[in-house]
Each structure stands twice: as C-alpha cells, then as structure tokens.
Amino acid sequence: MHFSFLMTFWTSLIYILPLSGIAQKLIPDSLANSNPTQKIIFLNEQAQKQQTGESAELYYNKAMELASSNNYDSLKLVTQYKRTNFYYQQGLYKKVLEEVNTLDSLARFYNNLFYQFRSHTIRANSFKMTAEENKALSEYEKAVEITKTIGDSLYIADAYNNVGDAYMYLEEFEKSKKYFLLALNIYEQLKVPETEKYVTYKNLSRVSDNLEETEFYLDKAFQIVKNEKNPKKLALFYLTKGDALMTKEYYAESITAFQESYRLADSID
C-alpha cells in the first residue's frame, strides 16, 4: 500500500514538474513588470505559434487566468476566440465545436454581439468542413440575424455571402443566387473596392441559370484576378470557370478552362 502510494506520488511529479517549469517561463523576465494587457497579448501571440494543442493550451490558460483575475472581460473573449481559431487552423473541428460553445457562452454572458456573430460563423464553417451543410446553413442564418442587430452593413453582406455559399453546396441555386445578389448590392452601395467582390462574382457565375449571366460574372472576376500576379488564385479562378461552364453543358470551353487551371497549378513552385 505504502509502495503504491509512493509510486503514484513520484509518477505525478514526473508530469507536474515539467509543466510547472514551462508555466514559469511562459512570461519572460522582460515582461515581468509589464501591465496585464501586454502579458495577455504576448501569451496569445505565443499560443498561435505552437505546433500542438497541448503546448498552446498552456499559454491560453495563463492568458485567461490573467484576464479573469483582472476583470478584463474583452480580453477573455479575445483569448477564447483565438483559442477556438487555433484549433480551426489545426483542422480539429470536433475540438473547435467544443471551444466555440465556450466562446458563445461568454459572448452571451457579456452581451457581445460581435463575438456571438463570430461564434455562429465559426460553428458553421466547422460544419461545412465536415460536410454537414444543413447544420452549416442553420448557423449562417443565425449569424445573419445577429449582423442585422449589430447594424453593420459589411457584416450583413459577408453573412449573406455565407448563406449563399451554404445553399450553393446544397444545390439550391435560386436561393443561393438571391443571397449572393443581396451581398453584391450592399457592396455596391458601400462602394467597396472591386477586389472585395471577387468571391461573390465567382460564386454568382456558378449559380446563374444562363450562359450570358455566367460569362458576365466570370469576366468580372477575371478582370480582378488577372492583374494580381497570383498564379494560385488564377488557377483557382479557371477551376471555377471550368465548373461553371460544365454545369451549362459547354464542355469544350469547360475542358479548356480546366486545362489552363492545371497548367497554372503545375507552374507553381
């Protein structure tokens, strides 16, 4: 019994001591006398540089601890948002859904509409990545309602784009087109740069119901991308063009576009 207890004790130390040592070094001596905000910003930046969730969690937990002990509500939200986004970038979507629930709860507790909007959008993006399009659509629609309450037209347009994208993947093209046009109309009212409309133009080319409209939006998108000197983006444009033309049964033109896409892709180092 005594031997078993000692083994358990020493085994625990093996795991605790390294973490304690790391925890002491999370904040360098150069920041020892800095204010909590600077320390939290530093910790979040370091967390983003980590390769694994385990090491990132050390920084996020310390940042959250500092934010909580100093009643920095906004920095608690920022830290949880960055933590959630870290796992999204890692492709760990099950973990994202766990973390985004915490983010959403905090956002509701502090009545922060911006992070409520972000919560629904991240959740939707995660569902989209796991091919759960109906769930993604539901979350994008909730995000739209929140943006209307926020009253920021650019957020509303972006949210409309997301809903249109979800309908497009569900192959409900009329509904998809409706939301893309709503987004485009807002962008035009706000007089945003043409480059900001690129994705919307591309998507409209895919859901338009006739060749004339498809070619119109493809040309709009091409005028933007051709001057950017970005072979990868141009390759993706031709991939979209090939797909859009194939749905209109213009197979020869579609194949030409696909071939150009592959040629550009092969030229990328």
Q: What residues have CB less than 8 Å from 144, skipping those under 6 apart?
A: 156, 159, 160, 163
Taking only the tens place, the pLDDT of each residue in 129-173 is 999 999 999 999 999 999 999 999 999 999 999 999 999 999 999
Spans of the chain, pLDDT less than 70 = 1-24, 269
Q: Coil, helix or strand for 23?
A: helix
Please tell me the pTM assigned to this model. Answer: 0.83
Neighbours of 85 (CB within 10 A): 17
Domains 112-192 and 195-269 share a fold: yes
CB-CB contact of 155 with 147 (8 Å): yes
Between CA 221 and CA 92 the distance in angstroms is 32
Between CA 172 and CA 170 the distance in angstroms is 6
The domain segmentation of the chain, as residue ranges, is: 34-104, 112-192, 195-269
- What is the assigned CATH class of domain 195-269? mainly alpha
Phi, psi of 84 (to 5 degrees): -60, -45
Report the C-alpha dihedral over residues 151, 169, 120, 232, rounded to 10 degrees: -80
Taking only the tens place, the pLDDT of each residue in 228-243 is 989 999 999 999 999 9
Give the CATH number of domain 112-192; options: 2.10.25.10, 1.25.40.10, 3.40.50.2300, 1.20.1250.20: 1.25.40.10
The pLDDT of residue 269 is 67
The single-letter DSSP state of residue 196 is G
